[in-house]
Structure 1
Amino acid sequence: MPTSLRVVKLGARIGARIDGVDLAAGVDPHTASQINAALLEHKVVFFRDQHDLDDDGQLAFAQALGTPTTAHPTVTSRGRQFLPIDSRFDKANSWHTDVTFVDRIPKASILRAIALPPYGGTTTWANTETAYEQLPPPLRALVENLWAVHTNQYDYATLHDEPGATPTDEQRAYRDEFVSDYYETEHPVVRVHPETGKRVLLLGHFIKRFVGLGATESATLFNLLQARVTKLENTIRWSWQLGDVALWDNRATQHYAVADYDDQYRRLNRITLAGDIPVDIHGRHSRPIVGDASTYSEVVTPIALAS
């Protein structure tokens, strides 16, 4: 391992900064392995001062860590490999795990700051592994046998508009594209992480309902479990600077982009790594109900770490 690579822990339950790596210069396999190990341990890792990193370099970094997906299953008009997180079109100000409405949930995402507002615009991540571990035994028994229906009709961009706000034409076009193809998938609420073997909660605001429960019961249980995930001690909040890159384990986190920057412009470029089809503690795989995600992403199942 290069002697310059340093992992600086930022929180007790989640988050680390990786220093001493120039991503624009390329990442060799050994360094990529070390970064992946830090990712598995800390769930989200940050790189500062990557000012020379461009789109090609970000793609090369993604390829060093895994297999990139296309930009998005339904939002295809803004690029094939990169999804611009652009405040003119949407603000992801709701707790979610990316793209859980398909069967092959992405492994990870890499987000690079392009344009930042003069204030606000932070992003917060939460650890879904520790959220599971801290459940009392009666709740564990419940969620370990619980499944949920996830769908892209429950778009985070429409759930948290300001009261009385009228979406712009750009926002309407984005939201129409987001639901242009319909996806619905049943996932276990507790999945086994394919690399660590740990149990994690699979929730977030793409959930429509829990299998076997009605709308009211689903909403009550969802809010109870989400409160466990997003407890402040279980989160880390990142204040972006130009040159920043964030890498997070999408299988063991949720995240929330805080929309506290008024009408200032904010843009970050996201590239996503292909993942596996979740498996519950009994060995049962997630089930696609509507939609074929094969053109969005390969299914990539990593080798689990020795326990």
Structure 2
Amino acid sequence: MNERLKITPLGPYIGALVEDVSLNRPLSDAQFEQLYHALLKHQVLFARNQPVTPVEQRALAARFGDLHIHPVYPQTPEAREIIILDTDDNNPPDNDNWHTDVTFIETPPLGAILAAKRLPSTGGDTLWTSGIAAYEALSVPFKQLLAGLQAEHDFTKSFQEYKYRKTPEEHQQWLKAKEKNPPVLHSVIRTHPVSGKQALFVNEGFTTRIVDLAEKESATLLDFLFRHITKPEFQVRWRWQENDIALWDNRVTQHYANADYLPQRRIMHRATILGDKPYFQA
């Protein structure tokens, strides 16, 4: 049996298409090794025509590590590790900004696997950008300025209280999530624990300030970094088809879910793989 995966880069910095694999079945060690190294190299991988159940998606994600249980998103009945992102006019998306998933915890996710379940007739693309490419494009003096700086990441920046007042139960869940997830500090530059590459690790979704700087300095620097990270040169854009799967390295990427499809409905399932504490090593 041929176990060689076909991997086609989609751009010079980020993104690759994976073919000749069925992700709803257990991967052999050889297949997983290829997928893992492709993920390290290309940072986000895409596969077409991969119908997976929540249980199968959970099993695939668990090959990479322990899974995260999200504090506020709804979960599938079959597997609570799989969150449901079901958006329309009555439940508009809250992820239509550039963000890295769950950086508001001490050990942000290693990665995530997203499966397309129901799509609008047009629109709803997702874009990813490379924190590695963004870092490497900076000048040496600017990299030296950022070295050793720490930034605060706050759950409430993206998950704002007013969005979770539809029912008393929902509001109570939000209050518990806020209490359980106080703001945390992470390095502005993150060293990838496997490849050793450096990446920018601040994101518009959750980063509130650079704690080592004065307020105006922090705001000015973050504004520059947010805009720099999301330059089109560092991006890949994926036009979803039903049953597509995306797998990304959350440690060195950001993504943006385009909200141009409303009032139509879009349903995605996501598994989130726990990671380790970010660090910077010169």
| TM-score by shorter chain over 0.5 | yes
Deviations 1:63-96, CA, capped at 9 Å, x for gaps: 22x2232321x22653531111121263301111
Separation (CA, whole Å) in 1 of partners of 2:22 and 2:281: 39
How big is the shift at 1:4? 4.6
Q: Distance in 1 between matches of 2:24 and 2:181?
A: 37
Answer yes or no: is the 8 Å Cα contact 2:61–2:67 preserved in 1.
no
2:152 matched to 1:149? yes
* TM superposition score normalised by structure 2: 0.89
- Tell me the distance in 1 between the aligned counterparts of 2:45 and 2:7: 9
Q: For residue 272 of structure 1, report the CA deviation from its aligned partner.
A: 1.0
Residue 24 of structure 1 deviates from its aligned partner by: 1.5
1:98-177 matches, cutoff 5 A = 98-155=101-158, 169=166, 173=170, 177=174
The CA RMSD measured in Å over matched residues stands at: 2.4
- Name the residue aligned to 1:14: 14
Task: Deviation per CA, 1:220-243: give whole Å up to 9, x if none.
Answer: 111111222111010011011001
Equivalent pairs: percent with the same residue? 36
| 1:90–1:174 Cα contact (<8 Å) kept | no
Residue 59 of structure 2 corresponds to which residue in structure 1? Answer: 60
Paired with 1:36 and 1:2, the residues of 2 have a C-alpha distance of 18
Matching residue of 2:72 = 75
Q: Which residue of 1 aligns with 2:35?
A: 35
- 1:160-191 superposed Cα distances (whole Å, 9 cap, x missing partner): x9xxxx99938x94897263633211111011
The code of the aligned residue for 2:35 comes to: I
Q: Distance in 2 between matches of 1:176 and 1:221?
A: 34
8 Å contact kept, 1:189–1:203 = yes
User: Tell me, which stretches of 5 or more residues in structure 2 are unaligned?
Assistant: none
Matched, 1:202 2:201: yes
Count of equivalent residues: 272
Q: Deviations 1:246-285 (Å, cap 9, x if unpaired)?
A: 0000001000101111211111100011111111126xxx
1:223 alignment partner, SS class:
helix
Residue 236 (structure 1) aligns with = 236
Pair 239,7 (structure 1): closer, same or farther in 2 beyond 3 Å: same
Stretches (4+) displaced over 3 A? 1-4, 76-79, 166-170, 172-176, 178-182
- Corresponding letter in the other structure for 2:263: D
From the superposition, tell whether residues 277 and 138 of structure 1 become closer, same or farther in structure 2 (CA, over 3 Å): same
Structure 1: tracts of 5 or more residues without a match? 283-307
Tell me which residue corresponds to 2:257: 257
User: Normalization by structure 1: what TM-score?
Assistant: 0.82
**Aligned partners of 2:101 and 2:108 also within 8 Å:** yes
**Separation of aligned partners in 1, 2:171 and 2:165:** 10
